[in-house]
Amino acid sequence: MDKFTLRNVELWYNDFKALKNVSMDIEAHEITAFIGPSGCGKSTLLKSLNRMNDLIEGCKITGGLMLDGEDIYGDMDINLLRKRVGMVFQKPNPFPMSIYDNIAFGPRTHGIKSKYKLDDIVEKALKDAAIWDEAKDRLKKSALSLSGGQQQRLCIARALSVSPDVLLMDEPTSALDPISTSKIEDLVSELKKEYTVVIVTHNMQQATRISDKTGFFLLGEMVEYGESEQIFSMPKDKRCEDYITGRFG
């Protein structure tokens, strides 16, 4: 079952064409990785999936971008879209408030007032993000007192608190140490049971370890897309092979 369907997607920042004719299907309950050198369009494409690029002046997008068959850039309510498609950024960005309030923030925004309900949501989100055991006795403490790796798992929990269908992750481990990175990779592999995950990563080993499908981007173009195993062992495109074997750049 396809979660996202992209057809001939092109994106401009004023005169600069950042995405060129991208067509792909992203399947539900899979982890899809976008790889490629810096500035190749992978984060731009990721942010198009929940319209984060709308915030950038001079940004224009054409082509078809569907979520569950519905046009994302049609008359879809943008708040509803961002509830369904959560986002985790490169650097952990907890709000300067308690751990509990970080997680309850989204549900409260969507009108959930009952403490009993919020307690349940906070517990489930922290458990889903594999940080409940570390956080349960300090829910009233500031989220900023957590370590970097814990803060990133908290941000994942915050994204999960509004029950999205999809989790977009923009290099979620690039600011973390190897142990925290490994915890987040294990977590992402678990999350695909309930969510669809799209991850941008500079770390090819990470893409090999956790993703089902991989898209390789170069200068705004999707050069190759397929099963991760095939992309990393037998890429069809010479540019993709050069990048993966490190003969690139």
Domain borders along the chain are 2-91+165-244
Using a 10 angstrom Cβ sphere, with 0-12 exposed, 13-18 middle and 19 or more buried, the burial of residue 42 is: buried
Residue 175 has pLDDT above 90, yes or no: no
Question: pTM for the whole thing?
Answer: 0.94
User: What is the Cα 238 distance to its own chain's centre?
Assistant: 28
| DSSP sequence for 217-249 | EETTEEEEEEEHHHHHHS-SSHHHHHHHTT---
Rounded to whole angstroms, what are the CA distances from 117 to 112, 121, 171?
Answer: 8, 6, 32
Mean pLDDT of 11-32: 96
Is the Cβ–Cβ distance between 199 and 169 less than 8 Å? yes
Write down the pLDDT at residue 162. 94
Is the Cβ–Cβ distance between 228 and 212 less than 8 Å? yes
Give me the half-sphere count of Cα atoms (radius 13 Å) on the Cβ side of residue 152.
23
- Separation CA 184–CA 172 (nearest Å): 8
With cut-offs at 50, 70 and 90, classify the pLDDT of residue 136. Answer: very high
CATH number corresponding to 2-91+165-244: 3.40.50.300
